[in-house]
Amino acid sequence: MISIKEALEAMMPAFGPVGAERVGLMEAPGRFLAEDVLGRSDLPPFSNSAMDGYAVRAADVEGATEAAPVALPLAGESRAGGETPSALPAGRAMRIFTGAMMPPGADAVVMQENTAPDGDAVKILKAAGPGENVRAQGSDLAAGGVMLPAAARISAGEVGILAAQRVGAVTVYRRPVVAILSTGDELRDVTDPDEPGTIVNSNAYALSAQVREAGGIPWVLPNVPDDLEVTVQRLQEALTADLVISCGGVSVGDYDHVKEAFDRVGISADFWKVAVKPGKPLTFGLAGRTPVVGLPGNPISAMVTFEAFVRPGLRKMLGDPRPHRVRHEVTLTHPHRHSPGRPELGRATVARTESGLAATMLRLQGSGSLPSMVGVDALVMLPRGVRDFAAGATLQAILLRDGQGASEAPFEG
Ligand code: AMP
Ligand code: MG
């Protein structure tokens, strides 16, 4: 039996980006840049006012106070989106609005609240130093430099700056197409009539959800009966994807044909017993450069091994330089017993308390018990060699969803 670490060390080098594509900014969030993006122009693109008020020369308003205001005759106005303002003559003030171009010659804006109207002039009640309330051209970003480096993740902020730079499309790593092959004569689809001895191919749905959540594009192939020829044929078809996941049929049963099918299509695969619970049988191989992962068929084993062994590789394919989930320390809220032979990725809900994350194991922990992945926040590592964990025991966990960052209460100060 090999360890989780050994399995990942063997698998991870085989995963990497599967090419790049141009996408529009609307499709870019969640993707990773395949190349540096240079700043095209200064930001702000022109010096403009940060306030509604009056553009002045700072020297003209030096020393102005409420008790000793400085009156400056008005010289036109500058508004956002309006015409380019003419130069500001010395000793004058120009009405200006937020976002409007600074007139040449002006170097400060006195905010409206510090002024009083005075016929054709304006009284300045408070001095403004050079640069005050002015957003200078290029002060946020100078044209020509690397604005966003390759491998940067695109989120709302990145989209915003790209748009401001008139970059309407970016080159990002492609989302991998992930073929999902489910084996088993007993499998039916959700819409099929209920027949004795059959079950719904729930793995195809659950794995698709996991693939999508991880950023991949799931491609579910028709169910594969426990027949070698059909398994070979479907596997060949699946190999047109960027990554192939099969589930079921990897054990030693008489109807488990995955091993032989891999041989037949030329996948030199390692069939492992990985020391992890749930999910002992696991297969990994390469068909050319396409990774093929054989997951166990039990629904919980399939989902947990996807999380542990497939998701990190899938994230690498997407170009994520940090493909692993963050490890958190959690404290058990209750005593818990597990069978100590293998490390176990137990399913838990997690609550944030004053003393950190508190984990409560789900009642059902069986590899085929579908409720044991319902409402799950975390996979908690229960190390081998320990049978009983006391309430308050500290364990390592990964959080599966951002539920831990969610609250019913607003963030109000
Ligand atoms: P196997 O790995 O093929 O021996 O399957 C192990 C268990 O998981 C059996 O009880 C199967 O019926 C069940 N199983 C296999 N594939 C699926 C699937 N795609 N969806 C739901 N259950 C499955
Ligand atoms: Mg089977």
Q: What is the rounded distance in angstroms from the CA atom of residue 346 to the CA atom of residue 376?
A: 10
Q: Ligand 1 pocket check: which of 224, 247, 283, 301 to mutate, most ligand atoms within 8 Å of Cβ? A: 247
| Cα–Cα distances in angstroms (integers) from residue 206 to residues 27, 28, 210, 373, 376, in the given order | 24, 25, 6, 10, 13
Residue 328: what pLDDT?
Answer: 96
Cβ pair 179, 243 in contact under 8 A: yes
Cis, bond preceding 278 (omega within 30 deg of 0): yes
Q: In a 3-state reduction of DSSP, which class is residue 236? A: helix
Residue 405: what pLDDT?
Answer: 65
CA of 268 to the centre of ligand 2 (A): 21
- The tens-digit pLDDT sequence of the chain (413 residues) is 899 999 999 999 999 999 999 999 999 999 999 999 999 999 999 999 999 999 999 999 999 999 999 999 999 999 999 999 999 999 999 999 999 999 999 999 999 999 999 999 999 999 999 999 999 999 999 999 899 999 999 999 999 999 999 999 999 999 999 999 999 999 999 999 999 999 999 999 999 999 999 999 999 999 999 999 999 999 999 999 999 999 998 877 887 889 999 999 999 888 889 999 998 889 999 999 999 999 999 999 999 999 999 999 999 999 999 999 999 999 999 999 999 999 999 999 999 899 999 999 999 888 888 999 999 999 999 999 999 999 999 999 999 986 666 777 788 87
| pTM for this model (two decimals) | 0.91
CA of 62 to the centre of ligand 2 (A): 85
CA of 284 to the centre of ligand 1 (A): 18
DSSP track, 187-230: EE-TTSPP-TT-EE-HHHHHHHHHHHHHT-EEEEPPPBPS-HHH
Nearest CA to ligand 1 atom 5: 297
Q: What is the rounded distance in angstroms from the CA atom of residue 13 to the CA atom of residue 19?
A: 16
Residue 404: what pLDDT?
Answer: 65
357: phi then psi, degrees, rounded to nearest 5: -90, 130
Ligand nearest to the CA of 247: 1
- The candidate with the shortest Cα–Cα distance to 396, out of 349, 326, 329, 342, is 329
Q: What is the rounded distance in angstroms from the CA atom of residue 308 to the CA atom of residue 312?
A: 7
Q: What is the rounded distance in angstroms from the CA atom of residue 236 to the CA atom of residue 234?
A: 5
